[in-house]
Amino acid sequence: MWVPLIGFLIGIFFGLFSGLSVPEDYANYLSIAVLAALDTLFGGIRAHMQQVFDNAVFVSGFFFNMLLAAGLAFLGVHIGVDLYLAAVFVFGVRLFQNIAVIRRLLLAKWAANRAQTNGKKST
């Protein structure tokens, strides 16, 4: 579970401090790629916390989502419609849903630990 997070942080570090820039023509594709990566990362964290993580689902989901979103963006460019916005919307919704579930799981774990600690103190 930590490998994707570490890779994500290393990627951000190199992206910020390398001085490389992306041509404007690829900005839509890059935005979709970043959202697909974030969606996969937070989906993997959520699955790990719910103890249903499967590496094959994680990796295949990342590549499938990336290819589908890039295909939509490519098709949209050729027909003159911003279809990449559909992928941005879907990934954005899924990202917020995953973060909300992770937050609830962390709060439940914190409350259980707090109740257990309070139970030990009173006995």
Q: Is the pLDDT of residue 47 over 70?
A: yes
pLDDT band at residue 66 under the 50/70/90 scheme: confident
Q: Is the pLDDT of residue 49 over 70?
A: yes
How many percent of the chain have pLDDT more than 90? 44
Q: Using CA of residue 57, residue 99, residue 8, residue 49, what is the dihedral sign? A: negative
Alpha-carbon distance of 16 to 69, in angstroms, equals 24
> According to the model, what pLDDT value does residue 83 have?
87
Contact 109, 97 (CB under 8 A): no
> According to the model, what pLDDT value does residue 3 have?
79
Q: Is the pLDDT of residue 120 over 90?
A: no
5 versus 18: which is more confidently predicted? Answer: 18
pLDDT band at residue 1 under the 50/70/90 scheme: low
Residue 78 is encoded by which pair of tokens? 């050729």
Query: How far, in Å, are 34, 83, 114 from residue 43 at the CA level?
Result: 14, 23, 26
DSSP alpha helix (H) spans, the chain:
2-17, 27-49, 55-79, 84-122
Alpha-carbon distance of 94 to 11, in angstroms, equals 22
> According to the model, what pLDDT value does residue 54 have?
93
Alpha-carbon distance of 31 to 74, in angstroms, equals 13
Mean pLDDT of 94-110: 96
The packing angle between helices 55-79 and 27-49, to 10°, is: 160
